[in-house]
Amino acid sequence: MKHFTKANPTMPASIQKAAYADTEILFDWHKVADYKGGVIKGIQAIVRGTDGADQVAATLVGMDIFFATSQIKEDARGISVDQAPPTLGTTGAVPDTFQWKNNLIGQTSILAADMLDGDLVVLTIGGKSGLDIATNGDLYIAAISKGAFDFTSTVQVSTQTATNTTAVVVKNTGALINFAPGDVLHDEDDLVIGTVRSVTDDNNLVLTENCASVSAVNKDLYNIHPIQFMISSED
């Protein structure tokens, strides 16, 4: 049986403020929720752009994607529990810790040549098929940049956000081209703003709940899931 599972790894806003460089960690191990197991056959990446323009218009690059399974450890009660693989290192920097070696189960590369904008203006899509990576247990993915991925934003808080309202007023680059319902927004200092319910116009957003934090005027806003993946697998 074929399965398709979506993964939305988190990339901190404070790190997105600057472009990633070649060999830097895009995101550390992310658990693929609701993964059905089996053999990984392919993966598609949907990559947001730079301040409303796709990565083709900026710098088209690829990424290395790594697959790993959980590690089994005992908790304080002596019960075995699944935990994420040991960290690759600091996100936005070159890997510098290596205790994940026995968790690694496979790798693939989505090359710059695999990334196509498809005339969608604000994002690029690329993928790899023909994989044959067997999984056993919880699945985790991580990625390393093969060039200058750039997710920088100039969508700024226009009127200081308040925690008693779902309304967020922004300025500079338009909200319509940068954000969409379901985006999770943090400001450049990693303060949680909230999840977008709707984008009214270029200057007004509505959140699903009251704003989570008070963010000051002129703080840039970021979607913390600028890369999404669709993983195909078979039993």
SS3 65: strand
**CB–CB of 148/29 below 8 Å?**
no
Strands 227-234 and 25-31: unpaired
Q: 214: how many CB neighbours lie within 10 A of its CB?
A: 13
* Under-50 pLDDT residues of the chain: none
How many Cβ atoms from other residues are within 10 Å of residue 136's Cβ?
Answer: 10
Confidence (pLDDT) at 75:
67
Chain centroid to Cα 175, Å, comes to: 19
pLDDT on residue 73 = 67
**Alpha carbons 106 and 160: distance in angstroms, whole number:** 46
Structure tokens at 139: 């699945």
Please report which helix (H) or strand (E) contains residue 140, including its range: strand 139-145
Looking at residue 228, its pLDDT comes to 97
* Residue pLDDT, tens place only, 86-116: 999 999 999 999 999 999 999 999 998 898 8
Residue-level pLDDT at 54 = 80
Q: What is the mean pLDDT of the chain?
A: 92
What pLDDT does 102 receive? 92
